[in-house]
Copies of this chain bind each other. A is one copy, B any other.
Amino acid sequence: MINNNGRFSEETRKKVEKVISETGYETNDVAKSLRMQKSNTIGILIPDISSSFFSKVVKKIEAFLFSKGYSTIICNTDRNADKENAYLRMLEGKMIDGLIVISGVKAFGLDSMSKNIPVVCIDREPRDKETILIESNHFQGAFLATEAMIQKGSRKIAIIVQREYLSSSRDRINGYCQALEDYSLPFSQEQIIRLPDVIEPSRTELAKAALLARFKKGQRFDGAFAINDRLAIGAVQAALENGLTIPSEFRVMGFDNDSISKYCQPKLSTINQDSTGIAEKASQALLSLIETPTKKVARHQVIDVELIVRETI
Contact = CB atoms under 8 A, between A and B. Distances in A.
Nearest to A90: B71
Interface string A29-63: 11111100001010000001110100110110011
Interface in A1-48: 24, 26-34, 39, 41, 48
Contacts of A95: 28-30
B90 A63 contact: no
A233 interface: yes
A265 B311 CA distance: 14
Interface stretch (A220-228, A256-264, A301-309): A256-264
A83 interface: yes
Bin the interface of chain A by size.
35 or more
Contact of A71 (B26, B39, B63, B73): B73
A50 B39 contact: no
Contact of A90 (B29, B33, B76, B264): B29
Nearest to A237: B263
Contact of A30 (B34, B59, B75, B204): B34
A87 to B, nearest CB: 8
Contacts of A280: none
Copies in the assembly, this chain: 2
Contacts of A33: 30
B39 A30 contact: yes
A215 interface: no
B48 A50 contact: no
Interface of A: 24, 26-34, 39, 41, 48-50, 52, 55-56, 58-59, 62-63, 66, 71-76, 78, 83, 86-87, 89-90, 92-95, 112, 204, 233, 259-260, 262-265
23 contacts: A24-B112, A26-B89, A26-B92, A28-B34, A28-B93, A29-B95, A30-B30, A32-B93, A48-B59, A49-B49, A49-B55, A62-B74, A62-B76, A63-B78, A66-B86, A71-B73, A71-B87, A72-B73, A74-B74, A260-B264, A263-B263, A264-B264, A265-B265
